[in-house]
Structure 1
Amino acid sequence: MRNFLGKLKSVGEFKERGKTVLLRVDYNIECEQGKTCDVTRIIDSLPSIKYLLELNSRILIVAHRGRPDGRANAELSLKIAAESLAGLLGRKFISLAGSDIKFPSYPVPYVYFAGGDIRTLKREAIEKNMKPGDIVVFENIRFYPEEEKLDKNFAKGIASLADIYVNEAFSVDHHSSVSVAMLPLYLKNYAGFRLMDEIKNLEFVVNSAKKPLVLVIGGAKITDKAKMLNVLIPRSDYVIVGGAMANLFLLVKNYQIGGSFVEEGGYQMAAEIMRNHKDKIILPRDVIVSRNMEGSGILKLIDSVEPGEKIVDIGPETIFDYSEIIKKASTIIWNGPLGVFENQFFAHGTLALARLIASRAKGKAYALVGGGETLQALNQTQMQDYIDFVSTGGGAMLSYLGGEEMPGISALVR
């Protein structure tokens, strides 16, 4: 059983006014053509930011976008995230040029983007130029090779800029890097409100979930979810399988799957799960297949898939079967789409179950949904607000549920 929750200090316990706060957030946002952005992750950070602003804190935001491998990459700049934050807070935005960070003497707080080198910044500049309530978003922390190399001097330099550290970046807490695993060692630290919510809900489904528990899993790779499945399947009453992951289990049961995608190296794991939990595993009995991924596909019983046909969605009988099981649940955990939902012709099964799960949540059942593609599918239904908890953790959620090491969280409890 995991019990981080009782060992963490929430940022709500921090009461000191006028302090400089180093806030690690997840602003790994996706933007179309550099302009229209999904600001969900920024919105998730607002409760902690607004609380700190009530305390007249100076807020230094450290975050990342993408995987620039320790090199500057204009396409992965955090400037657009800083602009989005300013818009959400109703503040004006100013981009500071160069590495010599000087803040204009404006009478009201702003959101600043500091694109210069954080390694050259000194505490004196912060105290001299930042007013209480000012927010500075630094450039992508992953532009610095020291971030992933766990450079001690890099960590000490950044930590010297602030009085306290707040972690509001659950999605990267399963990684070992300076900004999540080392900065808390040098500063008084707290967990952000969203981070606390993530842990509260994930610990609930592992330690206290009501029965019957229905696990809905999909997506392409079973190996990415191995440890999570090892923890949750024994606790589950039913395990509904869809997407490319179902292809592995169908192969184990000697069904022909034509030209459908099969994860290399996943067969043995699926076979072991079937041996140990065959009575819990629920597989499709009809599917939608396509040869060229065009058009609406063809409905086939699972024992009628022909060579060259690719399974792209679950069929109506399977949707009915899965729906009847979900209706029995007191707890529902969903991770992974049940078909090629990016194609509107092959999204029906995923969206049908998403709507059903949302309709059962917050009342008849407790529902936890997580995973990047899963959230994209849920958002298509516009019913995400009906889910009890939507985890934006992605890989961190899988690691947490799987009992894996969480360096960013462990650093907060030392």
Structure 2
Amino acid sequence: MKKTLNDVNVNGKTVLVRVDFNVPIKDGIITDDNRIRAALPTINYLIENNAKIVLFSHLSRIKEEADKSKKSLQPISKKLEEILGKKVLFVNQTRGTELETSIKNLKEGEVLLFENTRFEDVKNNEVVKFESKNNEELGKYWASLGDVFVNDAFGTAHRKHASNVGIASNISESCVGFLVQKELEMLSKGIDKPEHPFVAIIGGAKVSDKIGVIDNLLKKADKIIIGGGMAFTFFKAQGHSIGKSLCEEDKIDLAKSYLDKAEGKIVLPVDSATNNEFKDSKPSFAGLDLPEDQMGLDIGPKSIDLFQSILKDAKTVAWNGPMGVFEFENFKNGTVGVCEAIANLDGAFTLIGGGDSAAAAIQLGYKDKFTHISTGGGASLEYMEGKVLPGVDIIKNK
């Protein structure tokens, strides 16, 4: 078990907190502040326990010097100040005298946010990737700025960066924040110790993106429902005609091997909503074999009924990936149908592994109907694959 905030004395200490403030910003306005609010339990706990709080985060990718003017964390500091109802000192540096002095002058309960950690990936128009390649000197420098490191950024826990692994490797005290603690507890309950029947739903475009998930969950789940574009690679493996649908030719043999190994655990769609091109117009419907001029863009109504009948008895459900082109109004019914079926389960533990399926559940107004919606798409996907998350692994054990 990793140390949590409750295991560490933060009173009077300078606490470095890696948060995930990678939020969408348009014309200087934050359009979704969920990730900022998700960090509040940790920040408020540190304020109440007299810590001197130093927050830092990445925002998007920095590929050239010109990106820096558009990807500053300054608008985020203003939003955090508004949400906290408390002054947040912003330092527009990632290192240097001003940052060091500002941190040294912090009083107990005060909050400082410094600039985008990814600014360290480009120096004088040269791509150096000090942050995202875990530069040793940068990790040591950031660690030298505080007494305790708290990783509360689950969204980057699957990355080995200077702002998580680099700092934790070079500081005497480290722990996970409340957000990461909750993510680990929920994912463990849903994936490692599920109550049965356990149904996993895997969607999305490509088999190659979900190989590890299918591999890992075949050992754990009672049923694995497969939807989305990746289903057509499985259909082709079964000898069906898939028209112009998405297919990974180099993964057909792998799909065959999964179907053999699964011994009936894998459940595929039985019909599709199709179109003759990739556009949002009125669908046609086909069974297991598609006409040559059609491409499958969603599961069909019979598949929705089939999947709902499998889900109705589930005690644990883990969902990762939409059932079709959810962005298209005419091809979102499969994702909506699955989402509604899970949301209306009585007494089941229901988990969404971030990404598009999380966005779908939130857009459809089902956010509060799921036991847990992960804040980290990539990190939760790797957890579902059974991989070690470097940003968590490096944290000290209890």
TM exceeds 0.5? yes
What CA distance in whole angstroms lies between the structure 2 residues aligned with 1:291 and 1:16? 61
SS at match of 2:18: strand
Q: Which residue of 1 aligns with 2:160?
A: 176
Structure 1 residue runs of 5 or longer lacking an equivalent are 1-5, 92-109
- Residue 318 of structure 1: CA displacement? 0.9
SS at match of 2:344: helix
Q: Which residue of 1 aligns with 2:243?
A: 258
**Matched ranges for 1:35-74 at <5 A:** 35-69=29-63, 71=65, 72-74=67-69
Change (3 A) 1:18 1:413: closer
Structure 2 residue runs of 5 or longer lacking an equivalent are 122-129
Q: Which residue of 2 aligns with 1:296?
A: 282
SS at match of 1:240: strand
- Residue 70 of structure 1: CA displacement? 7.3
Q: Which residue of 1 aligns with 2:321?
A: 336
Q: Which amino acid in 2 is paired with 1:18?
A: G
- Residue 209 of structure 1: CA displacement? 0.5
Aligned-residue Cα RMSD (Å) equals: 1.8
CA contact (8 A) 1:119 1:154 kept: no
Q: 2:356 aligns with which of 366, 369, 373?
A: 373
**Matched ranges for 1:153-172 at <5 A:** 153-172=137-156
- Residue 83 of structure 1: CA displacement? 2.3
**Matched ranges for 1:34-113 at <5 A:** 34-69=28-63, 71=65, 72-91=67-86, 110-113=87-90
What CA distance in whole angstroms lies between the structure 2 residues aligned with 1:122 and 1:65? 19
CA contact (8 A) 2:280 2:328 kept: no
Q: Which amino acid in 2 is paired with 1:139?
A: E
Change (3 A) 1:253 1:34: farther
What CA distance in whole angstroms lies between the structure 2 residues aligned with 1:259 and 1:287? 13
Query: For 1:138-189, what per-residue CA distance to the aligned partner results, in whole angstroms no more than 9, with x for missing partners?
Result: 1110110321232222122211111111000112111111111121122211
Q: Which residue of 1 aligns with 2:92?
A: 115
Q: Which residue of 2 aligns with 1:141?
A: 117
Q: 2:379 aligns with which of 363, 385, 396?
A: 396
- Residue 84 of structure 1: CA displacement? 2.2
What CA distance in whole angstroms lies between the structure 1 residues aligned with 2:227 and 2:270? 11
- Residue 89 of structure 1: CA displacement? 1.2
TM, length-normalised to structure 2: 0.92
How many aligned positions are there? Answer: 386
CA contact (8 A) 2:280 2:331 kept: no
Q: 1:226 aligns with which of 194, 198, 211?
A: 211
CA contact (8 A) 2:283 2:330 kept: yes
Query: For 1:295-329, what per-residue CA distance to the aligned partner results, in whole angstroms no more than 9, with x for missing partners?
Result: 221122222x1122111111111111100000011
Percent identity of equivalent pairs: 33
- Residue 115 of structure 1: CA displacement? 1.4
Q: 1:31 aligns with which of 25, 30, 44?
A: 25
What CA distance in whole angstroms lies between the structure 2 residues aligned with 1:186 and 1:24? 15
